[in-house]
Amino acid sequence: MGPRYGPRLMDAVVRTTLLLAALTTAVLLVLATPLAWWLARSRSWLKEGVAAVAALPIVLPPTVLGFYLLVALGPDSPLMALLHPFGVRTLAFTFTGLVIGSVFYSLPFAVQPLRAAFEGIGEQPLEAAATLGAGPLDAFATVALPLARRGFLAAAVLVFAHTIGEFGVVLMIGGGLPGKTEVVSIRIYQLVESLRFGEASALAGGLVAFSFLALFTLLMIERWAGRRRA
């Protein structure tokens, strides 16, 4: 019938899930911001190709992405060979590997809202800042970032919610090790395998409620932004 899970292990699963979502969100807000800014401002012929690569996880099966990440972070990969002298042989089936996988898998959910927000700023505010003597970095920090705050809020909500619901990627790269890499979505799968439908239903219901709150938050952000524009 499968393993039994006590309250402590259940708490560990929830903590792991929330920590993974929080770290993924923080990392992506940092990494996706310059990428989204470049995609919004660049006129390079490479732009749409880069945008397609960044959006690839939306259409790529999670198990495919998880497989390639598992190979890349495994002990025999050239990437991990660079870390062998530091005592790191593999990042597969570790929490660090989970974070890396989640960052790749949720990348488009950060890049696309930020790119749309930056594109929505237009040229006039940045040109006005330039006429006042602001350099590119100053204009970005004092004009673009504040005007794009709606995009940052939307990106944060989407990435956090998407990470909470991850399954294929985290299962492939993390293995669902209890107390280490097991998250809520994997726990639901294991409970169903054990025919413990009552516990699975309770957890699944919690994810449904969380997803509703995330979408409701996004809609409220859009409504608030629309009122400010009006």
Q: Quickly state the pLDDT bin for 175 (edges 50, 70, 90).
A: confident
User: What was the pLDDT predicted at 7?
Assistant: 59
pLDDT: which is higher, 135 or 89: 89
What value does the mean pLDDT of the chain take? 88
Sort 55 into a burial class: Cβ within 10 Å, 0-12 / 13-18 / 19+: middle
pLDDT digit string (tens) for 159-168? 999 999 899 8
Q: How confident is the model over 159-179, as a mean pLDDT?
A: 90
Spatial contact of 80 and 97, defined as CB atoms under 8 Å apart: no
Residue ranges covered by each domain of the chain: 7-225
Class of domain 7-225: mainly alpha
Angle at 159 between CA 35 and CA 207, to 5 degrees: 170
pLDDT greater than 50 at residue 2: no
pLDDT greater than 90 at residue 32: yes
- Residue 140 Cα distances to 36, 109, 126, 186, angstroms: 12, 21, 8, 41
What secondary structure letter does DSSP report for 143? I
User: What was the pLDDT predicted at 47?
Assistant: 92
Interatomic CA distance for residues 50 and 40, integer angstroms = 12
End-to-end CA distance of the chain: 58
